[in-house]
Chain A
Amino acid sequence: MEALDLARWQFGITTIYHFLFVPLTIGLSFIVAVLQTFWHRTGRHEYLQATQFFGKLFLINFAMGVVTGIVQEFQFGMNWSEYSRFVGDVFGAPLAMEALLAFFLESTFIGLWIFGWHRLPRAVHLACIWLVAIGTNLSAYFILAANAWMRNPVGHEINEETGRAELTDIWAVLSNDQAWSTYVHTVSAAFVTAGLFVVAVCAYKLWRNTHHGDTGNTGEAPSAREHSLFRGALKVGLVFTLLAGAFTVLSGDHQAKLAAEFEPMKLAAAEAHWDSEEGAPFSTFAVGDTDQGHNPIDVGVPNVLSFLATGEFDGEVHGMNDLQESYEEYYGPGDYIPNVFVVYWAFRLMMGLGLFGIAVAAAGLYLTRGRERLPRNRWFYYAAMAALPAALLANVFGWILTEMGRQPWTVHGELLTAASVSPGVDLGTVAMSLALFTAVYGGLFVVEVGLLRRYIKKGPSHLVPDLDDDEDESTIPHFSY
């Protein structure tokens, strides 16, 4: 065990944890903005309730995304000082831009939105949540461009004297195929996640209302208004998920083609594809022998991998054995094959779980067609509730695929992970910080899930009372900590 191993574990744990909240923030900010826009345009009380209800859940989640994000920015310097020294010139720029152009926007306008319900004109207040949504999406672009650069290092040259990478073309970094394709894929997956969050919450409420006849622990009878609110929100979530799902699948296909071009080793590992082949099959299940470099068991669909990677059924897909040979020739001796087991299964779980979520959305949309219909079968509700963790896990496995598949490099072809770690930080120190982060994050996770459950159970009428029959104007609740 070396400091390097623990530093990698820490990066993996803190990043995955951070990314449980990020997709929900990106997608829910948008959904809340849409709901509030509906309210602004129609004045219907249900939309105000839905805005406040999902807004509340969004904020509980947002807080966690923000505080765990600070760790990410510091961690490059703390644990990966040699990486930071090598890439700072290129990699630091999008990070600083993210803070300057996106984080200020998000943080300032989220404060205005939370506390501004009574102090700002309604249209200005609505603009605040839209600016938050724009901020979250902008920030995603910068950080993903930085990450894409690690996989496809463009727009720079190595300074022979200092041995550091130096930026030569910022547009190349911000606008290359990997950057925007990764952005579309990640953000549409985030929208799927947020859409399924809404779906899961609505399914839970509708299922409780119909099967248990209560609205949480308020002791009140289920209200007809709440029922129609959740049915409406369910459809918003379903449509959102399905639209975003289409983009996720299309951009995912594009990602595979880019991997074939820029990171053939990652694609080969994701497929446990050892030997170069024309008309390569798509593996559905394989048991590999990584020492010998072949799979004793491999069940594949002929020609599909070639099609995914190249767009042609008999295109050539490079295998790991051949790539390893050519990498050794080019970069010198070493092991350039990532952890095939992890990458192979991460790829399958990402696709499987993601597609499951999208399928639930498609089925849900069919089952709720028309104005009143709701599915009777309880299995639909179970599936809808399961779709949220499935989507969150699909995101996690997507990142495991991306990051583990890039190994042994931090910057593909330029800097090895082993050469990136901080030389001055010893094993004990990293062990301590890993333990502390894991404990604190674990504790906060319990708190966060507890709070979400609590507010979901209480329902929207707890935040914004239902309208009495003789009232025609909604009262907006007053916010304070």
Chain B
Amino acid sequence: MDLALVWFIAIAVLWTGYFFLEGFDFGVGVLLPFTGPRNSVDRRVAINSIGPVWSANEVWLITAVGAMFAAFPAWYASVLSGFYVPMLVVLLSLIARGVAFKYRSNRDSDRWREYWDLAIFYGSAVPAFLWGVLFANLVQGVAMGPDHVVTAGLLDLFTPYALLGGLTTLSLFTLHGAVFLTLKTEGPVRVRARNAALYSAVAAVPSVVGFAGWTQAAHGQDWTFFTAAAAMAALVLGVASTRRGREGWSFLWTALSVLTLTVTVFGSMYPNVLPSTTDPAHSLTVANASSADYTLTVMSWVALVALPVVMGYQAWSYWVFRRRVTGEAVTGESVTAGGGGGDTGTAAVADPGPPRS
């Protein structure tokens, strides 16, 4: 098999890993306002369910983009410059949300936390939407000249198909995040998350069915029929499992839906990586956008050695934090009364330690 194709698959794997992992932490961010009243312990429970892991989830994005740079420089260059404004908005969102997670509890002030909660909400919802828009465009193609410079204007990127793509990732990630919360929390947050999962299914199921169906009908290959169908079926099964309170199964199904949908998108793109709607001859393809074999060989060895190790220790970190997050765990044992939000003035350290005798 030729190395360029191997790296196309590797990049698909990295994006799939990114959407699977950051998908649920985007979802938790989108649902934050619905997990509990302002400044409540409940909201902190929700944030702490992804607290130790969201940052490493985001590294999948950094690795995916870095791999595009190394393995398909022309793809990286055309996509990032051609989608300049959406990428700028994604960056600003990721900045706002990343800082918000870390700084939210650093001051004992209700207004302070409310601002950061807004940053978490928009910082999660906006990229969750824009990734769908972006990938729909990568499948559908954009206006692009012979020098591979994208000539499409900003509004040209928001076609009906692209908007449906955005709605799909937003609603699917929200559902995925809701299911994650049911699995990782206890008490009122778990109950609200279950409801949120069922509500978001109302948007997610038709979006995924519509988007996967449209993708398959207009751009798909023979084999992507099966992954597109699997994306729809897995999602329906995920919702059914949630209804029956089977949280673990439900998470596996929504994860599978994210995974198969991403594979469908990459499969439908191939052999192009960015089709040109101006003239198919100007399209960027796996063959014409890739680096030379030497670079790809070097990168293959690095990935072959490093990726299993990375996946190993990242999985271990999930194992360490496998317990459900509870209000008591978040506020510390010594805080008993009220459970308002004002207990975080001590920042990193909500718990002044067990009472001394």
Contact = CB atoms under 8 A, between A and B. Distances in A.
A88 B303 contact: no
A193 to B, nearest CB: 21
A99 B58 CA distance: 11
Interface in B291-342: 291-292, 294-295, 298-299, 302-303, 306-307, 310, 313-314, 317, 320-321, 329-333
A481 B295 contact: no
A99 B62 contact: yes
Contact of A112 (B65, B95, B98, B320): B320
B84 A429 contact: yes
Contacts, number: 263
Contacts of A107: 55-56, 58-59
B52 A436 contact: no
A70 B62 contact: yes
Given A59-B102, A481-B104, A77 B52 contact: no
Interface in A87-114: 87-93, 95-101, 103-105, 107-112, 114
Q: Is the interface of A mostly helix, strand, loop or mixed?
A: helix
Interface in B27-79: 44, 47-48, 51-53, 55-56, 58-59, 61-63, 65-74, 76-79
Nearest to B314: A108
B74 A478 contact: no
Given A67-B94, A70-B91, A81-B149, A111 B307 contact: no
Interface in B73-89: 73-74, 76-82, 84-85, 87-88
B105 interface: yes
Q: Is the interface of B mostly helix, strand, loop or mixed?
A: helix
Contacts of B95: 67-68, 70-71, 440, 444
A120 interface: yes
A73 interface: yes
Contact of B353 (A100, A436, A455, A465): A465
Contacts of A463: 346-349
Interface residues of A, number: 82
Given A70-B62, A93-B299, A116-B320, A101 B149 contact: no
Interface residues of B, number: 84
A85 B72 CA distance: 9
A444 B96 CA distance: 9
A11 B1 CA distance: 39
A122 B295 CA distance: 41
B186 interface: no
B253 interface: no
Give 8 closest A-B pairs by Cβ, nearest first: A88-B73, A77-B80, A92-B70, A478-B351, A92-B69, A477-B349, A475-B353, A111-B52
25 contacts: A60-B102, A60-B103, A63-B101, A85-B148, A88-B291, A92-B70, A95-B69, A96-B70, A100-B63, A105-B313, A109-B313, A111-B317, A112-B317, A166-B292, A167-B295, A423-B149, A433-B84, A436-B88, A440-B96, A463-B348, A475-B354, A476-B353, A477-B348, A477-B351, A480-B330
Interface of A: 52, 56, 59-60, 63-64, 66-68, 70-71, 73-74, 76-79, 81-82, 84-85, 87-93, 95-101, 103-105, 107-112, 114-116, 119-120, 159, 164, 166-168, 170, 422-425, 429, 432-433, 436, 440, 444, 447, 451, 454-455, 462-465, 468, 471, 475-481
